[in-house]
Chains A and B, each alone.
Chain A
Amino acid sequence: MEYDVRITVNGERYQARVPASLTLLRMLREVLHLTGTKEGCSIGECGACSVILDGKLVNACMVLAVECDGSVVRTVEGEGAMDKLSDLQQAFVDNHALQCGFCTPGMLMAARELLERKPDPTDDDIIEAMAGQICRCTGYETAIEAVRRVARKGQAGGGK
């Protein structure tokens, strides 16, 4: 069975006819060609596919595209603007908070969702928010520090 899905991703509206079994992750990557969002395990364990769906952080591999009809999705491609990094992106750059970079899009989304939900997070809040994002390279400390710096500046918000 195929269904029409209307979805807004990073402020742009899309419409596509997709099979019922297609995940949001595969729709983003294979139908909309937004490949910034990664697949690391496909069973909701690693967080590489984290996106913000209607304001909530989800593993896009665990959500069906048909469930997202009428929804608003944000991915790494919507973080910051062309040639202007968001504060979070800039903090990740400044802190060397990435190595291979494969988990970075998911990390940024998890951090963004936290800062919107809680603009003044404690260290425990940050760790809790990042705990679902597996990173094999960095050991997390630099990413936590990047989020901490943005939070302390107290001006969480995209670069737009």
Chain B
Amino acid sequence: MTVPFHSDKHRYVGGNAERIDALDKVTGAAQYVHDMAVPRMLFGRMKLSPHAHARIVRIDTSKAEALPGVRAVLVGSELDTRLGLYMIDKFILARDVVRYQGEAVAAVAAESEDIARRACELIEIDYEPLPAIFDPEVALADGALLVHPDLHTYRYMKGVFFPRAHSNVAHHQKIRKGDVDKGFAEAYRVFEHKFTNPPVAHAPLETHVTIAQYLPGSRAQIWTSAQSPFTVRNLFAVAFGLPHNSIRVQIPYVGGGFGGKAGIHLEPLAWCLSRKAGGRPVKITATREEEINTLPSRQGLKTHIKTGVTRDGKITGLKVQFLWDAGAYADYGVNIGRAAATSGAGPYEVPNCWIDSLVVYTNKVFGTAYRGFGHLEVLWGVERNLDLIARDLGIDPYELRMRNVLRAGALTITGEKVTANHGRPDLCLEKVAQEIGFENRPKEPVDPKKLPLRGKVRGKGVALLQKAPAMPVFTACSAIIKFNEDASVNVLISGVDYGQGTYTMLRQVVAQELSVPLDKVQVVFDCDTATQPYDWQTVASRFTVMGGNACIEAAHDCIAQLKHVAGQVLRAPENELICEDERVFVRHTPEQSLSYREIVLGYTYPNGNSIGGPIVGRGRYIAQGLTHLHPETGQGKAALDWTYGAHGVEIEVDLETGDIEIVHIASAFDVGKVLHEGMCRTQVQGGVIQGLGSALLEGFVFNDKGRMLNPSFVDYKLLTAKDLPRKMSAFFVETPQLDGPYGARGIGEHPMVSVPGAIGNALRDALGIDFHDLPLNSERVYLALKRARTAKA
């Protein structure tokens, strides 16, 4: 008998197997909370504020309560619980004051959606409108009205965040490296530039939806469309002072998240409605308008960058102010101001750096995590800034980047030493520049005055990017692998796969580690805090590394247990055993072997004696070596790993309409190791298109009273199949991450980061006009062209 030790039979990592969830999703069998109903379920609806800032003078719910079919009406004064992930600043329903238009003020649970909606209409609320503040710069000024006068009394994660009492600053992140004044003094020239990003919508196709039931004994059963079952449970437990094991959070298939379903959202309100309705379960489904205008969005950003450079383009000093438009609550947003500041210089070596990143309250819909976690916003400024400097110095923008890019031996702005295993932004840039023929573009600067009135012109641009997971230092993950009778396994893990494909990748990892066929591995979809092991949150592109490592450890634990039992039966030392192709072999006498099936639930000898027992593998992973950042300097290790990348883009601009068409966008990322070819590629495709949305179309528009003017898909447009680039290409560099699974790093968020910068730079190349504000919609481009043409020399 020959045993194909180390055969390729169960080598799946790097392959392209079909998605684990594909069958359910193409047949309509996939069940989302959106689709769920439970017996005696009521329907919850919210009454929203029409004002951006107002005192609640009177609420009369009597007519709503009298409506037949209404089972509960709630107002803010009944609920004194504040919620928040990092900054605990938001009531479940507004109390006394509303702080943004669209904020929930009251809620109803009724026998049907229609009754609940009608009841909300019948709730009478008198407001006393207050002056409001919409611009973070105005909110910073001395004497500005305070969105949260009681900020100094709020609870928050201390030692990590630094709110400024009696101001609108929810967090001030400082980064201090070297001596920035010295850096400017050494500079050949110093440049100053400003950039802005509007707030934008996540727009998952499934809006936020939750079913919650108050159970006897103040327990909670929650089904929710969320990214992070354990964080929902933890914040819920803390908010209501309940034991964690009295709360059960279950998450079936989720129809997209993009960060907007991280943290906690409608779950507490639905539970409070259920409590008031005598324990009947309550389902709240956000309308699309509520999804955009009531639930949180991506924060807006104002960037002010001052850069000192030598004559040959080496950066000597960088001073940046980031003003984050947190909106009315900074619950999660404070951490964006922290994390994105650590990337505030981009993937470049900056010897002297000073960053003030301020998360500022305003009277607008509040912000939260969104794919990229502030990096798309920050890198829009960073990458445009470099092109502006390159042009003024007469240096090619590619060359300027290569002179400053992070290389092994460099120190990041938070003092982390870059090593040979950090990944290679330079190789990513080289690849995309090559792909779009950046070298061969016409180098003569374009004079917009000389552009024809009609026709199309082309331009090329490049941009670099970087991002590390943003998470607490103690972030941890665990996995359980349990064997079934036929030696198939169920993998229990609590990161949620809401479409990004992680479970498909993890199935490959587990199958390979156990040496079993792919179809023997099921990664279980319904995440359930009552039965599945702990994970912090499914955010930050951290699940590949942390979930991957936890699964590998759990598989190794299974293997050790298999060998332990097999060793007794085969009378061989465990270190002489090999697990391959669903069998345990004795290495030097492979005719001695046992199938997994004979062992996984316990081995039975011919005489009936049994040993072993069901095999359950346990794996865990905790972020290694992270430190809190120094409060005054921001120095420390915040990054589990850095994924670097670059985009190169060729665009065509319609001179008559200002419309931009993407001719080719090439993207490259150093993912360490491609664990699943298809999942990596499709993350890039989807992420690049989402990034193009931010670049070309998306952004909220408010009127002067702070009312959002585009909270629907009629007025808030997303890219469609008609808007695709003519060509897209994705490339992967593989510099192994030493502590990543098979050397891998995360790739979930990165594809959308720096897409706007690349387009903005290409636009400059095409038109000779610099853009500082997003989005680069045809209106903005058209008006800029018009201005440039009519401007006096």
**Are A and B subunits of one complex?**
yes
- The answer, yes or no, to whether B22 is at the interface (CB within 8 Å) is yes
Stretch at the interface among A64-72, A99-107, A150-158: A99-107
A93 touching B26, Cβ below 8 Å: yes
User: Beyond A43-B288, A96-B682, A101-B255, is A89–B26 a contact (Cβ under 8 Å)?
Assistant: yes
Of B24, B205, B207, the most chain A CB neighbours within 10 A belong to B205
B27 touching A77, Cβ below 8 Å: yes
Give the number of chain A interface residues (Cβ < 8 Å).
52
Q: Closest approach, in angstroms, between the C-beta of A50 and any C-beta of chain B?
A: 12
| Residues of chain A within 8 A of B501, CB atoms compared | 96, 99
A101 touching B21, Cβ below 8 Å: yes
Q: Which B residue's beta carbon lies closest to that of A134?
A: B718
- The answer, yes or no, to whether A24 is at the interface (CB within 8 Å) is no
Per the 8 Å Cβ criterion, residues 136-151 of A in contact with B are: 136-144
Of A36, A76, A103, A127, the most chain B CB neighbours within 10 A belong to A36
| Residues of chain B within 8 A of A45, CB atoms compared | 712-714
Cross-interface CB contact of B255 among A41, A85, A100, cutoff 8 Å: A100
Q: Closest approach, in angstroms, between the C-beta of A150 and any C-beta of chain B?
A: 13
Q: Which A residue's beta carbon lies closest to that of B258?
A: A136
Q: Which A residue's beta carbon lies closest to that of B288?
A: A41
Bound CA–CA A136/B291 (angstroms): 14
| Residues of chain A within 8 A of B196, CB atoms compared | none
A39 touching B34, Cβ below 8 Å: yes
| Residues of chain A within 8 A of B536, CB atoms compared | none
Bound CA–CA A35/B253 (angstroms): 13
Bound CA–CA A85/B689 (angstroms): 29
A48 touching B714, Cβ below 8 Å: no
A77 touching B256, Cβ below 8 Å: no
- The answer, yes or no, to whether B498 is at the interface (CB within 8 Å) is yes
- The answer, yes or no, to whether A46 is at the interface (CB within 8 Å) is yes
| Residues of chain B within 8 A of A144, CB atoms compared | 721, 724
Tier of interface size on chain B: 35 or more
Per the 8 Å Cβ criterion, residues 113-166 of B in contact with A are: 114
- The answer, yes or no, to whether A130 is at the interface (CB within 8 Å) is yes
- The answer, yes or no, to whether B509 is at the interface (CB within 8 Å) is no
User: Beyond A43-B712, A101-B253, A103-B205, is A80–B27 a contact (Cβ under 8 Å)?
Assistant: yes
B499 touching A141, Cβ below 8 Å: no
B27 touching A36, Cβ below 8 Å: yes
A98 touching B22, Cβ below 8 Å: yes
Per the 8 Å Cβ criterion, residues 234-263 of B in contact with A are: 253-258
B686 touching A138, Cβ below 8 Å: yes
Q: Which A residue's beta carbon lies closest to that of B722?
A: A131
- The answer, yes or no, to whether A108 is at the interface (CB within 8 Å) is yes
| Residues of chain A within 8 A of B415, CB atoms compared | none
User: Beyond A130-B721, A136-B690, A139-B724, is A96–B19 a contact (Cβ under 8 Å)?
Assistant: yes
- The answer, yes or no, to whether B311 is at the interface (CB within 8 Å) is no
Bound CA–CA A57/B18 (angstroms): 29
Bound CA–CA A95/B402 (angstroms): 36
Bound CA–CA A93/B20 (angstroms): 10
B253 touching A134, Cβ below 8 Å: no
> 5 closest Cβ contacts across the A-B interface?
A36-B28, A101-B25, A100-B499, A102-B255, A139-B689
**Chain B interface residues (CB < 8 Å from chain A):** 18-19, 21-32, 34-35, 114, 202-207, 253-258, 287-288, 498-501, 678-679, 681-682, 685-690, 712-714, 718, 720-722, 724, 728
30 CB contacts below 8 A, A to B, read A34-B28, A41-B712, A43-B712, A46-B713, A76-B27, A79-B27, A85-B26, A85-B27, A92-B26, A93-B23, A93-B26, A96-B19, A96-B678, A98-B25, A98-B499, A99-B256, A100-B206, A100-B257, A104-B25, A127-B721, A128-B722, A136-B202, A136-B205, A137-B256, A137-B686, A138-B682, A139-B690, A140-B689, A140-B724, A142-B682
**Chain A interface residues (CB < 8 Å from chain B):** 21, 29, 34-43, 45-46, 48, 75-77, 79-80, 85, 89, 92-94, 96, 98-105, 108, 127-128, 130-144
A-B contact sample (5 more), CB < 8 A, given A79-B26, A127-B721, A141-B685: A38-B32, A96-B682, A136-B686, A139-B689, A139-B724
